[in-house]
Amino acid sequence: MAKKEGCIICQIVGNQIPSKKVYEDDLVLAVLDVNGANPGHCFVIPKNHYPIIEQVPDLEIGKLFNVSNKISSAIFESLGVQGTNIFVANGIPAGQTVAHFTINVIPRKENDGINLQWQPRQLSEEEMSTVELKLKEQAKNIGHFEKEERKTAKIHPSKPAALSEEEEEYFTRQLRRVP
Amino acid sequence: MAEQNISPEQLKALQEKIKQMSPEELKEFQKKQCIFCQIISGKVQSRKIYEDDKVIALLDINPANPGHVLLLTKEHYSIMPQIPDDELAHVFMAAKSLSNSMLRSIDAQGTNIIVANGIAAGQRAQHFMAHLIPRKENDGVDFVLPQKVMDEKEIEAVGNKLIASLGEGEKADEKPQFKVPEKPKESKVSKQPKGEIDLDEISKLLGAK
């Protein structure tokens, strides 16, 4: 397992920090958040250390979200809640506080003090078209997903290139600032 | 999340009606009612960003930020627990790639991925979707996750309930994918992701939550 020294999540994975685990397999761990937004708030984490979602291999993405889904169902079944949220904050401007990719699974009840709503904005036709064009152009690079473990090293020309060092540096350096 | 305007009263009536239906009737009924199924079939116009055999990504017409994308399954599912594992995995692989696209094309400095299951969680539409929201510093979007203090006993009790419930799921035949793999494979990802950054420094500053 690729761990990172000093990472609090890696220490939870490695049992150096005690936690209440609700699910564990070879790649994924789910623990209860002791300072959760609601009782039953879990975070689902890759055992390998990846700061942001872009770095998590597709195979692990699939497993992580499938586990999140099962935990969401278990929350519904066993905690008598009215809903669940799946919440990911990717990067400091998005609210990420720990540099280890985390999926929050949050039990919800009416008026529980959690706000995951936003003020709907009305953009002009031009603004919408501009952003549509830019995103669409970039999304053309999305192709093959690595759904199974790679047996041999293959090159998929259609797969978007990983973030270059510079780009990643630009994106993750945000995480260095204390929120 | 203003996709559909349904009053609480209408929703209640709908829920009552839904309770009386067989699963097949229910799905057909929901599909007919569903604006997103009409978008997917091309009957209603939208701004498509990405599409494959399982998912479609559209621009939200009332976005939290420019570039706010709704990622939908093409198949009609009301809530996430109804989605088969392989399809759900596919959805979030696409979400990862779209998040990457946002960083690369519209100068996003971060992204949020949000799924709401149930009205109390903020779900408005009767079709499963993941919201992908590009973020920038001081963009006015403010999600609040309070940190509640819970005592150990409470955590323990809640945890045990969840574990019991997850265990039942594991035994059930309809959820075979959730079983722990019999042969744990070591070093699936032994290499650090490319593009080394100073993770030590990041960790030092962010380490203590």
Q: What one-letter code names the amino acid at A21?
A: K
- How far apart (Å, rounded) are the C-alpha atoms in residues B198 and A169? 9
Determine contact: A87 vs chain B, CB below 8 A.
Answer: yes
Determine which of A61-65, A172-176, B174-178, B188-192 has the lowest per-residue pLDDT on average.
B188-192
Q: What residue of B is the nearest CA neighbor of A145? A: B93
Chain B positions in Cβ-Cβ contact with residue A179 (cut-off 8 Å)? 206
Q: Is residue A52 within 8 Å of A140, Cβ to Cβ?
A: no
Rounded to the nearest angstrom, the minimum Cα separation between B88 and chain A is 7
Burial label for A42, CB within 10 Å (0-12, 13-18, 19+), is: buried
pLDDT digits (tens, 9 = 90+) for B24-62: 887 777 777 789 999 999 999 999 999 999 999 999 999
pLDDT at position B74 is 96
Interface residue of B141, B199, B200, B201 to substitute, partner A, most A CBs within 10 Å:
B199
Rounded to the nearest angstrom, the minimum Cα separation between A155 and chain B is 15
Backbone angles phi, psi at A115, to 5 degrees: -125, 105
Rounded to the nearest angstrom, the minimum Cα separation between A15 and chain B is 16
Highest mean pLDDT among A123-137, A146-160, B193-207: A123-137
Tell me whether residues A32 and B80 touch, CB distance under 8 A. Answer: no
Interface residue of A3, A25, A103, A116 to substitute, partner B, most B CBs within 10 Å:
A116
Burial B88-122 (b: 16+ CB within 10 A, else e): bbbbbbbbbbbbbbbbbbbebbbbbbbbbbbbbbb
Burial label for B67, CB within 10 Å (0-12, 13-18, 19+), is: buried
Tell me whether residues B145 and A60 touch, CB distance under 8 A. Answer: no
Q: Is residue B17 within 8 Å of B32, Cβ to Cβ?
A: no
Interface residue of A63, A85, A129 to substitute, partner B, most B CBs within 10 Å:
A85
% of chain B surpassing 70 pLDDT? 78
Residues in chain B, total: 209
Tell me whether residues B147 and A35 touch, CB distance under 8 A. Answer: yes
Q: What residue of B is the nearest CA neighbor of A91? A: B110
pLDDT at position B170 is 52
Mean pLDDT of B102-127: 93
pLDDT at position A81 is 93
Determine contact: A3 vs chain B, CB below 8 A.
Answer: no
Determine contact: B15 vs chain A, CB below 8 A.
Answer: no
Tell me whether residues B83 and A5 touch, CB distance under 8 A. Answer: no
Confidence of residue B192 (pLDDT cuts 50, 70, 90): very low
Asked if the model's pLDDT at residue A30 lies above 70, the reply is yes
pTM above 0.90? no
Tell me whether residues A119 and B64 touch, CB distance under 8 A. Answer: yes
pLDDT digits (tens, 9 = 90+) for B118-133: 999 999 888 999 999 9
Residue of A35, A59, A88 lying closest to B112 (CB–CB): A88
More confident residue, B15 or B37: B37
pLDDT at position A169 is 56
Asked if the model's pLDDT at residue B19 lies above 60, the reply is yes
Tell me whether residues A20 and B184 touch, CB distance under 8 A. Answer: no
Query: What's the token pair of residue B37?
Result: 């199924």
